[in-house]
Chains A and B, each alone.
Chain A
């Protein structure tokens, strides 16, 4: 299936939120069984589980809207498993490979900051269903944000090696951070004025944590974008071919 011809901004926006959650959840789930300490393995798996859960809520809502629109039966699974990469609307940062623990932590911190303040705003949205999902996720997000901030501090202010690895992670990933607040039409349509406060909260939080961790934010560098309108890195195709394998190999069956 393709959802590219759908013009409804709410549906596009829901897919964007769901895709972000699913793809970063997928990456985090790759750590399961491989973490640096058992407690942290559990913590990151727990975060991945929350993210898959959030993705499901948004997909289910989107699926019900698309089904109403098209008359065909669309499910959370058809949205996750039967779209190709040009249909996915997640930010590029979410799909980048995990790298080492420092890169994973940085990715998760950035994602948590943007999701936390975004969901905080969405929890007040006039669309009650959207607000409900956001409010429900907010508790999880505050844990993700605390956990990932704690780790940014530990690594930034831990050993020389951890500081260097953290600064390397910033060098690799920073050009993928601006996309989160580089809003496209469907986001503006849903978020309206609230983007100003979201952007401000996010920047303040990142600056504060980086300052405490003794980490430097690069200035004036090129910023990548495109994920929100379906222009992805090469990595997403591999994620999808792995994730969608069974649904593609054995179509139309129940699992």
Chain B
């Protein structure tokens, strides 16, 4: 009996066989993945900016080294993810152009400002924490290169989360000013972090198809609930409070109930009206534009060298690390 390509594809997915770049896939699957992976890659790279904001002001040499290493990890995540997306037939430059033209999104969380040192801890603990919730299931996502990239990324993200928590823990045991700094950062980051999981399930249009293709394995609301349950417990160790009067353990559901999310704010930030949208995108565009002559020079040099020695490894994208 003959089965269509589409049916064979779905059978593979149902049998948990990974889809690899050369395999046949529906065009919509390819496009969905390009959109999701590039959006994730952009988030890693734009996400370097709010934390990069504090490198030169880190309060100790140890903290400075930790922060530098963390942001370097995020750049590395961007690299793996751009490479994973490239296997689907889009170039990194194209993805950058989509970002710079405002046609590709990145996580809205990075459109919030980092105002005090405590924000470095809050980002590690809450933002990386929410990212892990989203990403651990992605280690089993149906597209092979994405799943493998996620395995590496998740290991580092959970390290970041512990470091962020530890940094807040020190503040929470410190002076009154440090405690206030810690609480203030939690207050500002909590709700935007809940929005990181995306709109509620009944308003999320991509979910059903993505679940069927096993790109996604849990719904937005399921992941959000897991995150709330985790953080509501961890915050007790910090002796701090989450800024939600409705947060309460629900014995019947065995979950924490939480208050209403301000979805109007979410949609506004997504539309470009968050506190730092313009700044973040302008910064990325400026880095790209200012770097144009550098990339040109590296390409020209690589061409000269390869003409000389048939060696093409000398480009600006060569991993010199």
Does A45 lie within 8 Å of B57, measured CB to CB?
A: no
Contact A253 B61 (CB under 8 A): no
23 A-B pairs within 8 Å (CB atoms) are namely A26-B56, A32-B68, A32-B71, A32-B72, A33-B71, A36-B291, A38-B78, A39-B317, A39-B319, A39-B321, A40-B294, A40-B316, A42-B72, A48-B68, A59-B61, A81-B60, A153-B301, A154-B297, A154-B316, A159-B300, A162-B293, A253-B174, A254-B170
B287-305 to A contact mask, C-beta < 8 Å, 1/0:
1001111111110110010
A155 at the interface (CB under 8 A from B): yes
Query: How many pairs of residues, A versus B, come closer than 8 Å at their CB atoms?
Result: 156
CB distance from B98 to the nearest CB of A (A): 16
- CA of A55 to CA of B64 in the docked complex: distance in angstroms? 12
Measured CB to CB, the nearest residue on chain A to B296 is: A159
Q: How far is the CA of A56 from the CA of B66 in the complex (A)?
A: 13
Residues of B within 8 A of A250 (CB): 59, 175, 177-178
B204 at the interface (CB under 8 A from A): no
B residues in contact (CB < 8 Å) with A: 45, 48-49, 52, 55-65, 68-69, 71-72, 75-76, 78-79, 82, 117, 167, 170-171, 174-175, 177-178, 283, 286-287, 290-298, 300-301, 304, 314, 316-321
Q: Is B319 in contact with A162, judged by CB distance below 8 angstroms? A: no
Contact B297 A158 (CB under 8 A): yes
A100 near B320 (CB under 8 angstroms)? no
| A210 lies within 8 A of chain B by Cβ | no
Main secondary structure of the interface of B (DSSP, over half): helix
Q: Does chain B have a CB within 8 A of A86?
A: no
> In which size bucket is the chain A interface?
35 or more
| A residues near B61, Cβ cutoff 8 Å | 22, 52, 55-56, 59, 76-77, 80
Which residue on B lies nearest to A150, using beta carbons?
Answer: B320
**Closest chain A residue to B41, Cβ basis:** A38
Q: Which residue of B lies closest to A105 (CB)?
A: B294
Instruction: Chain B residues near A30: list those with CB within 8 A.
Output: 55-56
Q: How far is the CA of A49 from the CA of B175 in the complex (A)?
A: 29
Contact call A37/B317, Cβ cutoff below 8 A: yes
Is A52 a contact partner of B68 (Cβ separation < 8 A)?
yes
- Contact A42/B321 with A33-B287, A37-B295 known, Cβ cut-off 8 Å: yes
* Secondary structure dominating the interface of A: helix
The interface bits of chain A over 22-50 (1 if a CB of B lies within 8 angstroms of the residue's CB, else 0) are 10001001101111111111110110110
Expressed in whole angstroms, the Cα–Cα distance for A35 and B49 within the complex equals: 12
In angstroms, Cα B304 to Cα A253, docked, is 56
Contact partner, B291, options A26, A32, A35, A247, Cβ 8 Å: A35
Contact check, B68 vs A36: say whether CB atoms are below 8 A apart.
no
Rounded to whole angstroms, the CA-CA distance of A40 and B320 in the bound complex is: 8
A183 at interface by CB-CB < 8 Å: no
The answer on a CB contact under 8 Å between B170 and A49 is: no
A-B residue pairs, 7 tightest by C-beta: A36-B291, A158-B297, A162-B297, A246-B59, A36-B294, A33-B48, A255-B59
Q: How distant is the Cα of A42 from the Cα of B72 in the complex, in angstroms?
A: 6
How many whole Å from A244's CB to the nearest CB in chain B? 9
**Residues of chain A with a CB closer than 8 A to B71's CB:** 32-33, 45
